[in-house]
Amino acid sequence: MGVEGIGARVARKEDRRFITGAGRYVDDMVVPGMKHAAFVRSPYAHADIKKIDVKAAEAMPGVIGVLTGKQLKGDGIGNLICGWMIHSKDGSPMKMGAWSPLAVDRVRYVGDAVAIVVAETKGQARDAAEAVEVVYKEKKAVTDAVQALKKGAPQLHPEAENNLIFDWEIGDAKATDEAIAKAAHVTKVHIVNNRLIPNAMEPRAALGHYNKAEDHYTCWTTSQNPHVARLVMSAFYNVAPENKLRVIAPDVGGGFGSKIYIYPEEIVCLWASKRTGVPVKWVADRTESFLTDAHGRDHVSEVQLALDKNNKVIGLKVDTIANLGAYMSLFSSSVPTYLYATLLSGQYDIPAIHANVRTVYTNTAPVDAYRGAGRPEACYLIERTMETAARELGMSPAEFRRINFITQFPHQTPVIMNYDTGDFGASLNAAMKEADYAGFPKRREAAKKRGKLRGIGFSCYIEACGIAPSKAVGSLGAGVGLWESAEVRVNAVGTIEVLTGSHSHGQGHETTFAQLVNQRLGVPIDSVSIVHGDTDKVQMGMGTYGSRSGAVGMSAISKALDKVEAKAKKIAAHLMEADEADIVIENGELKVAGTDKSLPWFQVALASYTAHNLPDGMEPGLKETAFYDPSNFTFPAGCYICEVEIDPDTGVTEIVQFVAADDFGNIINPMIVEGQVHGGVAQGIGQALLEGCRYDADSGQLVTASYMDYTMPRADDLPSFKVSTSNTPCPGNPLGMKGCGEAGAIGSPPAVMNAITDAIGDNDLTMPATPLKVWASLKAMTRH
Amino acid sequence: MSDVSLVVNGRKVSGTVEDRTLLVHFLRENLELTGTHVGCDTSQCGACVVHVDGKAVKSCTMLAVQASGSEVTTIEGLANGADLHPVQVAFKENHGLQCGFCTPGMIMTTVDMITRHPEGLDETTVRHELEGNICRCTGYHNIVKSVLAASKTMAKGSKGKAKKAA
């Protein structure tokens, strides 16, 4: 391992601009003539729009234009789409209700955009937005998915009878029912996965600029995948043809999934720029983010786990209802289906699995992928169920898991996934050792003497990353391929630019991607620039989500580097009159193996561009492009152990230790990987203890729409984490990487809840386990 | 409209602003000091922390006119030329940032915290003191580490003298 190569703990190259205040986020962008936008949003969860009167607003100081959905539709701007087709088990396609970027005759959730006001200043735009008179006729609203399915519930879209979007299944129902029928024991659990609001610290923003002279559009946007944004805005929303639309995602302040989707605001800002003739910038305030960023999770499931007389799992039956909100967001349909139910086998050898999933419209913000996307829901379900089963059987939760682990690879689960490699026992052992599991009874006893309740909980998670083989996801309904692209440009002086379709919004790509180049070519990382986030600079790419930038994005770079290396070796062999097969690249030099002949890297690069002495027929230059399409998903896995201490007088839970033992395959920069785990675990602990999105059931108002009401994890809610890895390299990609971006958020919630339920003895406790809930549960149990 | 005049990062500045203009907007829009960020509407997240007359202040909680006559330091004014402040160095060395959005506020809060605790800091105190700054990326683990490291460096290094950039 070199000091800057693969495996090195290199400090991040990108940090200097962030720690000096020189980062450039969308809200920092200023374009000459730029004006500011505010959206008029529905204050009702469900209402018909009877009339919109913009006259008073238009007359307000500084107002340049007020535009509504009617004008938008008149200009041919399309409806928002969901890009992953799911069919119900009866063969019918999912029921996609119309979602206009600006609502025309009906609003379906609080925050639904109705009009845009463009003015000289942000303050003037907001003042005028309040003067837009919208006459609504309020309708009954429904925010809970189970209620929305019931007869007589308010109906959101004429296309979707009973608000049902699809009724989908996976696995073998008959075999699973048979397993339950013959089981020695069946564990039944009711699982609620609480709705979350992603809360990247940078609010969403868009700056649309139509250049009339060139008939060309530029959109600066807070996106995790600017190329997908360009494609979708061109192909489906008719904003502009792809060749006349440039999308730039500069520094982006966190995403966690919420910045994958193309939202109404960027479409409307681009359109409004053409309509008004000025560049239009919109920046969400935090309450707008709470109201309109795609939310996450929100599942309710009934689970049956069948066990034989030897305590081996023989079947798993799951019935899930998933809330998708008022409209189908871009990838919303894939989350509770192929990103969820395909992981229900967990780390266990389960011969029969069947899952049924119903997705439902409600008068709430659209729900889509949030850090983990379907996999946290699967992991929470299986790990809460396994823990419950172990308790019912009177077995140690570790041993019960161990006897059910998959130990042979590759392993084909009954729900599509083929696990390529792993060592689940190794992670379990590592976590138990680090947590001093053997010493827990003593610690529990000591806590009891102090009047505290102590509990410990496991979570053995597996997830699927590196999304995904294009052919496979295409056959499952995806509207896009999920490969990645890379271009490696070697300059004449030997410095290098890597252009990538991945997008960094905190992941540190400018460092890790440069480390890969250093490993391969020996060029110092300071001589390697990573270029991303601009559709005019980078060839088509698919972006960053699903922990895919390493396994897929870096694999594309690796493939491009193969080609660069091959050409450089040919040139070096020619210049040194050696056999191409004898050329090796070491420490920034091309050497003839077994001799003292060598050429520094920059000389070969220079030779490629002077082209004075190249092999016959070779094209000048040293620049290569590659597209990498993965052959399989990757399967990060691990074991998390959480230990809590609860004050029975207040219900306050303190996390006294949190251990994460992960298997991420090969690691480029351990410091960055640990940081990803820390952040993911914090979000998972947030879900388990603090965060819960709440809509008022009658009015449909979001009551958790600010940091005063939605509890974000703060520094004093969390401990320092004990993080380690024991890795089995992934056989499916050239770098052996699995991905680490979401593991923490996937694995941690069940560990926390298993610990709390262990401490208090109430297995029905739901997330977030707030002090009030824990205290009430303890009180209720004392009464009975 | 009101006239404001203040010293920002050692430079005298003035302007005419709407009375409702917040200090953060004056810094970002009038002075183009965009390192100070706005992450919420309720003075909770701390992305906008700057120093006003030597004290950490959420600049979204103060009107620009209230800051008139004051000395303000923003993240852009913290380093001494090319030499980073020890807190900036500690955040880089300890991977105390990911997306970078909360970072300016975190760093300005940390400088203030270390100044107020010349006796040194422990983890519990640091976590308590960071209550007014939200980070969604790091889980605070490496931020806490950065603060503790900076506190030690500053205690050693002749009361916070800037250290050569890493």
Cα-based torsion angle of the residue sequence A652, A653, A656, A657 in order, rounded to the nearest 10 degrees: -160
Q: What is the pLDDT of residues B34-87, one digit of tens each?
A: 999 999 999 999 999 999 999 999 999 999 999 999 999 999 999 999 999 999
Cα-based torsion angle of the residue sequence A99, A104, A109, A115 in order, rounded to the nearest 10 degrees: 110
Evaluate if residue A784 carries a pLDDT over 90: no
Note the pTM of the prediction, 2 decimals: 0.97
CATH 3.30.365.10, chain A: domain bounds: 299-467+632-783, 483-628
Note whether A20 contacts B88, CB cutoff 8 Å. Answer: yes
Q: What is A299-467+632-783's CATH number? A: 3.30.365.10
Q: What is the pLDDT of residues A139-164, one digit of tens each?
A: 999 999 999 999 999 999 999 999 99
Interface test with B, best of A9, A10, A20, A659 (most B CBs within 10 A): A20
- Tell me the β-bridge partners of B73: B51
Burial class (CB in 10 A: 0-12, 13-18, 19+), B119: exposed
DSSP A634: B
- Comparing alpha-carbon positions, the chain A residue that sits nearest to B43 is A707
Q: What is the pLDDT of residues A392-427, one digit of tens each?
A: 999 999 999 999 999 999 999 999 999 999 999 999
Length of chain A as a residue count: 784
Note whether B42 contacts A708, CB cutoff 8 Å. Answer: yes
Burial class (CB in 10 A: 0-12, 13-18, 19+), A763: middle
Q: Compute CA distances A617 → A174, A279, A625, B159, whole Å.
A: 64, 49, 20, 65
Is A663 in a helix, a strand, or coil?
A: strand
Burial class (CB in 10 A: 0-12, 13-18, 19+), A10: buried
Tell me how close the Cα of B129 comes to any Cα of chain A, in angstroms.
8
Note whether A23 contacts B130, CB cutoff 8 Å. Answer: no
- A71 Cβ contact list (under 8 Å, min separation 6): A275
Which pLDDT does position A141 carry in this prediction?
98
ipTM of the complex: 0.97
Note whether B140 contacts A505, CB cutoff 8 Å. Answer: no
Closest Cβ opposite residue A20 in set B75, B99, B135: B75
- Comparing alpha-carbon positions, the chain B residue that sits nearest to A676 is B138
Evaluate if residue B166 carries a pLDDT over 50: no
How many Å apart are CA A281 and CA A329, to the nearest integer? 23
The overall longest dimension of chain A from CA atoms, in Å, is 91
Mean pLDDT of A180-208: 98
Note whether A24 contacts B45, CB cutoff 8 Å. Answer: no
What residues in A contact B35, CB-CB < 8 Å?
20-23
- Comparing alpha-carbon positions, the chain A residue that sits nearest to B139 is A679
Given this structure, which CATH class describes domain A31-139+201-254+259-292? alpha beta
Note whether B92 contacts A706, CB cutoff 8 Å. Answer: no
Is A11 within 8 Å of B95 (Cβ atoms)? yes
Tell me how close the Cα of A513 comes to any Cα of chain B, in angstroms.
15
- Comparing alpha-carbon positions, the chain A residue that sits nearest to B133 is A714
Q: What is the pLDDT of residues B72-126, one digit of tens each?
A: 999 999 999 999 999 999 999 999 999 999 999 999 999 999 999 999 999 999 9
Note whether A18 contacts B103, CB cutoff 8 Å. Answer: yes
What fold, for A483-628? Aldehyde Oxidoreductase; domain 4 (3.30.365)
Nearest to A160 by CA among A369, A328, A356: A328
Interface test with B, best of A15, A683, A718 (most B CBs within 10 A): A15
Delineate the domains of chain B, giving CATH numbers in brackets: 2-77 (3.10.20.30), 86-156 (1.10.150.120)
Q: Tell me, what amino acid is at A333?
A: S
What residues in A contact B135, CB-CB < 8 Å?
201
Q: Which two tokens stand for residue A557?
A: 């770079």
Evaluate if residue A252 carries a pLDDT over 50: yes
- Comparing alpha-carbon positions, the chain A residue that sits nearest to B33 is A21
Burial class (CB in 10 A: 0-12, 13-18, 19+), A762: middle
Which pLDDT does position A782 carry in this prediction?
82
Tell me how close the Cα of A278 comes to any Cα of chain B, in angstroms.
18
Mean pLDDT of A83-104: 98
Note whether B140 contacts A715, CB cutoff 8 Å. Answer: yes
Closest Cβ opposite residue B97 in set A18, A505, A720: A18
